[in-house]
């Protein structure tokens, strides 16, 4: 009997990415910025995991760390069954084709001195032994796949619109037939009219090539459209992870509730009745997070316990994980696991 249960393609456990702070004449280390501080999650084969949170919470750093664009501070990362968290960059090179990234700013992520053909062909030059004719044919196929006219292959990035430049970045990411792609706010720099086109393209490509996405965004409406499950991040930690519809219908963590209350409601009647949760104060510095729960300085449901003890990140319902003292007592012993899959 075949097991149709989806398997984790990406497995992250207790990932930490701390950046040192140096000061003084001798540049001594005086502290560290805890950009990502103990994050755990799985990304199943063929799914899109949305990673949301306000600016500066560590979303992009987390995505880059998972792809080992940084040497991580601590934790475990495995992609397609291979542990890559402690691998050297030299040993990582043969695995790079499996995992790719679509960057936030299409203007900054494309070399202005290279033609579109050269940009898309560059991964093929680095990682394959194809002939020039085969590479040219592959570039043409990729341009077709992302909706770019292959006649424009000799043009430079400045000749394209923002949406077209993002399509070039997507084509480059697809060149080596990856299994896993981190999409780091791929629509943030685009006009609203173009955003839907790029997201629809990503969905079509996922179905066509069997891709798995980590979709990083602060646009909650767009994440609801594209994601299978959603992880909510605050000050370097994941505070809630749940299936998409369950999270949007009934958010558990106070921060998730505040985030979702800020999503614009197009129906005027519903907009008048929906209550907006206004958080007081600013996000604490990641170099000096508060004692206990990171959210305790702004939480409308804060308790004395929250200011002293960090809540466990645990499963409170099937497939739903939350880090909040409000749910600690309701959790059964069997659910108190470190797992973060579906």
pLDDT in tens, 89-133: 999 999 999 999 999 888 888 999 999 999 999 999 999 999 999
Segment 271-283 shows an average pLDDT of: 74
pLDDT class of 26 with cuts at 50, 70, 90: confident
- Look at residue 2 and tell me whether its pLDDT is greater than 70: no
Segment 276-305 shows an average pLDDT of: 87
pLDDT class of 334 with cuts at 50, 70, 90: very low
pLDDT in tens, 215-246: 999 888 889 999 999 999 999 999 999 999 99
Establish how many alpha carbons lie within 13 A of residue 57's alpha carbon, considering only the half-sphere containing its beta carbon.
Answer: 22
Segment 301-306 shows an average pLDDT of: 90
The predicted pLDDT at position 338 comes to 39
Domain residue extents for the chain: 8-335
Whole-structure pTM value? 0.88
pLDDT in tens, 172-215: 999 999 999 999 999 887 888 888 889 999 999 999 999 999 99
Angstrom CA distances, 290 to 10, 188, 221, 283, 295, stand at 30, 30, 30, 10, 8
Cα(280)–Cα(289) distance, rounded to whole angstroms? Answer: 16
Core vs surface per residue 218-248: b (16+ CB within 10 A) or e: bbbebbbebbbbbbbbbbbbbbbbbbbebbb
- Beta strands 237-243 and 320-323: pairing type? antiparallel
| 58 conformational bin, left if phi > 0, alpha if psi -120 to 50, beta if neither | left
Q: Which CATH architecture has domain 8-335?
A: 3-Layer(aba) Sandwich (3.40)
Segment 34-42 shows an average pLDDT of: 93
């Amino acid at each position: 009997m075949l097991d149709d249960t989806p398997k984790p393609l990406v497995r992250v456990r207790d990932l930490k990415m701390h950046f040192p702070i140096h000061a003084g004449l001798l540049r001594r280390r005086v502290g560290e910025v805890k950009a990502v501080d103990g994050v755990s999650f799985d990304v199943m084969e063929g799914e899109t995991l949305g990673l949301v949170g306000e600016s500066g919470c560590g979303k992009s750093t987390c995505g880059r760390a998972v792809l080992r664009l940084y040497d991580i501070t601590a934790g475990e990362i495995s992609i397609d069954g291979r542990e890559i968290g402690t691998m050297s960059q030299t040993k990582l090179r043969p695995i790079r084709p499996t995992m790719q990234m679509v960057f936030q700013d299409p203007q900054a992520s494309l070399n202005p001195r290279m033609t579109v053909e050269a940009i898309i062909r560059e991964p093929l030059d680095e990682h394959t032994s194809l002939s020039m004719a085969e590479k040219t044919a592959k570039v043409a196929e990729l341009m077709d796949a992302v909706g770019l006219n292959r006649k424009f292959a000799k043009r430079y990035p400045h000749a394209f619109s923002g949406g077209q430049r993002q399509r070039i970045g997507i084509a480059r990411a697809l060149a080596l037939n990856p299994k896993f792609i981190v999409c780091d706010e791929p629509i943030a720099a685009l006009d609203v009219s173009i955003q839907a086109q790029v997201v629809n393209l990503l969905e079509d490509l996922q179905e066509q090539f069997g891709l798995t996405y980590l979709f990083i965004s602060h646009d909650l409406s767009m994440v609801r459209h594209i994601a299978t499950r959603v992880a909510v991040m605050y000050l370097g930690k994941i505070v809630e992870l749940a299936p998409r519809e369950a999270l949007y219908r009934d958010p558990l963590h106070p921060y998730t509730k505040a985030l979702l209350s800020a999503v614009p409601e197009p129906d005027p009647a519903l907009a008048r009745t929906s209550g907006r949760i206004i958080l007081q104060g600013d996000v604490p510095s990641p170099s000096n997070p508060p004692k206990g729960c990171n959210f305790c300085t702004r939480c409308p449901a804060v308790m004395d316990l929250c200011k002293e003890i960090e809540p466990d990140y645990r499963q409170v319902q099937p497939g739903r994980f939350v880090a909040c003292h409000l749910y600690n007592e309701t959790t059964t012993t069997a659910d108190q696991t470190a797992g973060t899959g579906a």
